Structure 1
Amino acid sequence: MTSDEADETPIPRALELLWQGPSPARRTGGLTRERIVAAAIDLADADGLGALSMARLAERLGCGTMSLYRHVANKDELVVFMLSEAPAPPPAPSDDGSWRDALSTWAVGLWGVYHRHPWILQAASSGPPADPGQLAWLDAGLATMAGTPLSERDKLAAVMAVLHFVRGSAALAIEAPPIDSRSYPELLSRLVEPTRFPALTAALAAGVFTDDADDPLAGFRSGLAQLLDGIGVRIPRDARKAPRAR
């Protein structure tokens, strides 16, 4: 073994298995890794990540708990498999769209992923992605900027800014208790004093806290548009085409 090989960070078993592709066709008691992961995703979608346990998953699959360990080492490894599988493939950019259209489509798609699988907001906080599923989304996000003159570092910064915006917006929408779009502004108007909170008073007067019933994504799209405006300032108008779909 060379010194370089000795210094290499070992790849976790879960990532090695994911990058090897689908598990072998061999079955144990009718189980495969893919079937276990699919059941775990369904369980987490329905009841949250905290409700997921190997014992409960075994009960859902109609097998003994120990049977699961022939395919998945532990719950932490299972979550890695889930994070790679749940997002599904990212949207492909159109042939004739701008980088802005492509990145906006990517952001709305990511918003949908978080709403279909809210537990990802908790699980993905464990560290940066290194699995094929999540990296496919990051690659697709970077691909939207391929036709721009931005440096690779700035492309990544732009995509990560959008990702963090989407993630934060989704977390607020999913995890915050539901707010009545009529009672909340009315409550604020009774509490907020114009001399103490003049800017908030102006926002209330403009009706910004009243949800758009026709478009539940109105607030999200407005914030996303402002973020994309900021990114667009750094991109000349003659270099704003999106890459061709791959």
Structure 2
Amino acid sequence: MTAKDVDSGPAIPPAVESAWGLRERPPRGPRPGLNAPAIVEAAVRVADADGLAAVSMSRVAKELGAATMALYRHIASKDDLLLLMVDLGYGPSPEPAAPEHDWRAGLTRWAWAEHAVLRRRPWLLHVPITGPPITPRQLGWLEAGLRCLDDTPLPEGEKMSVLLLITGYVRNEATLTNQIAEGSRAAGVEPDEMMPAYGQMVGRLIDPARFPALHRVLRSGALGQSDDPEDEFAFGLDRILDGIEALIRRRAA
């Protein structure tokens, strides 16, 4: 299958064609084993090991034992490489929920699956989002999420909005958790020590008359104990799903 087989419409970017296997393979050269999938896999290995900042065409070429310019015969730019890295980095979408599971169980599973990917590969959070999902694995994730809502009365547009809301929450929580962990490491503090130290510092700084609500939180001891990031994630996800459940009930009525 080639790009010519695709229905007419907006031009498909070369990187997207490559992700879908629509691009013609370049002529065989001195390195027949060098191709776009091999380059992307090498780039993901670099990002997994040393973070996104370490990824460059020259570093990936070194990983493959190839000349930097040889990579450009298969992937036109660093931006194209990043798009393909995200597709590979997310991996396949979660398997469909069991038939006995309702929409809430399905979306919970979907959200936790994305959460696990972003915890395992935090470099994905540093790739700029330049548009809606368009590559095969990303659209696979979208499809898996939409299927969770098949038996609900939500209009199709609201189903898309539900997934945008959930994935936005997942990414935000993962970003916050990752940045706090990086900050604690830079300060030489264990992550589970950061919140108690923060509570002690705030207690020395605030005037109870000026910050009465915050003072009540301090007095309760809530800032004196470390929060489990997974507990915080579960709490926020449940509140979002509560709101979606209320919407589904309204639409059903």
TM-score > 0.5 by shorter chain: yes
- Which residue of the other structure, out of 197, 202, 209, is the alignment partner of 1:195? 209
Aligned residues: 231
Structure 2 counterpart of 1:68, from 57, 68, 71: 71
Q: Is the 8 A contact 2:87 2:136 kept in 1?
A: yes
Measure the CA separation in 2 of the matches of 1:168 and 1:189.
28
Q: Distance in 1 between matches of 2:121 and 2:22?
A: 23
Contact persistence 2:16–2:134 (CA under 8 A): yes
- Give the match's secondary structure for 2:195: coil
Mapped contact 1:72–1:78 kept (Cα < 8 A): yes
User: How far apart are 1:23 and its partner, in Å?
Assistant: 8.4
Q: Return the offset for 1:94.
A: 1.9
Instruction: Work out the CA distance in 2 between the residues paired with 1:195 and 1:142.
Output: 49
> In structure 2, the residue corresponding to 1:203 is in which secondary structure?
helix
In the alignment, which of 87, 97, 101 is matched to residue 97 of structure 1? 101
TM-superposed deviation, 1:54:
0.7
Aligned equivalents of 2:229, 2:67: Cα separation in 1: 44
Aligned to 1:118: 122
Would the aligned equivalents of 2:14 and 2:23 in 1 still touch at CA under 8 Å?
no
Q: State the match for 2:226 in structure 1.
A: 211
TM-score normalised per structure 2? 0.82
Question: Deviation of residue 135 (structure 1)?
Answer: 1.3
TM-score (norm: length of structure 1): 0.84
Residue of structure 1 in register with 2:240 after alignment: 227
TM superposition shift of 1:172 = 0.5
Cα distance in 1 between the residues matched to 2:217 and 2:109: 29
| In structure 1, distance between residues paired with 2:144 and 2:123 | 22
Counterpart-to-counterpart distance in 2, 1:147 and 1:200: 43
**Contact kept in structure 2, 1:107 and 1:162, CA below 8 Å:** yes
CA-based RMSD of the aligned residues comes to 2.5
Say if 2:84 is the partner of 1:81. yes
Q: Distance in 2 between matches of 1:208 and 1:160?
A: 31
Q: Distance in 1 between matches of 2:129 and 2:220?
A: 36
| Structure 2: runs of 5+ lacking an equivalent | 1-7, 185-190
Counterparts of 1:23 and 1:37, CA distance in 2: 17
Q: Which amino acid letter does the alignment assign opposite residue 231 of structure 1?
A: I
When structure 1 is superposed on structure 2, of 14-23 and 149-158 the one drifting more is 14-23
Q: Which amino acid counterpart does residue 20 of structure 2 have in structure 1?
A: W
Match of 1:11 in 2: 12
Per-residue CA distance 1:191-231 (angstroms, 9 max, x = gap): 2333323333333334444334xx54001111111111111
Cα separation, partners in 2 of 1:82 and 1:202, compared to 1, 3 Å: same
Check the 8 A contact 1:83/1:133 in 2, yes or no: no
* Unaligned runs of at least 5 residues, structure 1: 240-246
Percent identity between matched residues is 40
Partner of 1:145 in structure 2? 149
Q: 1:203 to 1:96 in 2, by over 3 A?
A: farther
Amino acid at match of 1:235: I
- For residues 219 and 104 of structure 2, the distance between their equivalents in structure 1, rounded to whole angstroms, comes to 32
Q: Work out the CA distance in 2 between the residues paired with 1:98 and 1:203.
A: 37
1:136 aligns with 2:149: no
Q: SS state of the match for residue 122, structure 2?
A: coil
The one-letter code sitting in structure 2 at the alignment partner of 1:229 is D
Match of 1:57 in 2: 60
